Amino acid sequence: MFIKYLVITYLLPSILIMTVWKLKYFYNFFLQVSDAAINLKGILNSYHDGQNILDNYAKSNKLNGLLRNKLSHILITHFLKKSAEKKISTEKLIILSKEICYLFPNENKETYYTPYKNEASVVSPARGKLWDKYNNLRKEIRKTNQQLNKEITPENLFIPSEGTVINSIQIFQYHNDMY
């Protein structure tokens, strides 16, 4: 009777608290992963090329190099558009590569993303189609931002003279009258 009392008053509540904590942890983790799984197919369905990828995989049960590149492009551009900082975390890339393999079972997750590793002084850089596309698009974004932020000076500002504008209008009218 006394042991039953100890179990009910002390042991059972602590077991329940630990169980509830574990359930919350796994539930939150499951939500993150399942959210990516639901969104991945939704993301692909929201793009014409994404629909083509899904259709081709349904027919042939494999993706070729062109479709893999299109898949990477769709996913990276989609998540860059959603990010205010124009960054995608390594955790997101890992989840994306796993979700690609979940949606396309014949695909290999290492094809899409392998994170950076430094084990026993052996360095393995990050690689994969998602990583390459991400770096290439970030480079383009930086280049575009540099051009937009370029200071306007008299040397790089072109303002046509009145004579040039009138001459261009006359040439346009002449060619327009010919046709």
Q: With respect to residue 99, please indicate whether it lies within any of the assigned structural domains.
A: yes
Q: With respect to residue 164, please indicate whether it lies within any of the assigned structural domains.
A: no
CA distance linking residue 48 with residue 56, whole number of Å: 12
| The two structure tokens encoding residue 59 | 């027919």
What is the mean pLDDT of the segment spanning 59-71?
A: 95
| The two structure tokens encoding residue 101 | 């393999």
What is the number of other CB atoms lying within 10 angstroms of the CB of residue 35? 12
Q: With respect to residue 13, please indicate whether it lies within any of the assigned structural domains.
A: yes
**Average confidence score pLDDT of the chain:** 80
**Percentage above 70 pLDDT, the chain:** 69
Q: Which domain holds residue 117?
A: 2-139
Q: With respect to residue 95, please indicate whether it lies within any of the assigned structural domains.
A: yes
Range ranked top by mean pLDDT from 5-14, 69-78, 170-179:
69-78
Q: With respect to residue 51, please indicate whether it lies within any of the assigned structural domains.
A: yes
Q: pTM of the full predicted structure?
A: 0.64
Q: With respect to residue 146, please indicate whether it lies within any of the assigned structural domains.
A: no
Taking CA atoms, 98 is separated from 30, 115, 120, in Å, by: 13, 13, 26
Taking CA atoms, 156 is separated from 140, 144, 146, 165, 168, in Å, by: 22, 17, 14, 19, 21
| The two structure tokens encoding residue 106 | 């014949």
Which is more confidently placed, 7 or 74?
74
For tokens 């992963």, what's the residue? 33
How many folded domains does the chain comprise? 1
In the structure, what pLDDT confidence band is assigned to residue 34 with cuts at 50, 70 and 90? Answer: very low
Q: With respect to residue 161, please indicate whether it lies within any of the assigned structural domains.
A: no
The DSSP line for 19-88 is HHHHHHHHHHHHHHHHHHHHHHHHHHHTSHHHHHHHHHHHHHSS--HHHHHHHHHHHHHHHHHH-SSS--
With a CB cutoff of 8 Å and minimum separation 6, the contacts of 133 are 69, 72, 73, 76
Instruction: Examine the pLDDT at 159 and tell me if it is beyond 70.
Output: no
Q: With respect to residue 167, please indicate whether it lies within any of the assigned structural domains.
A: no
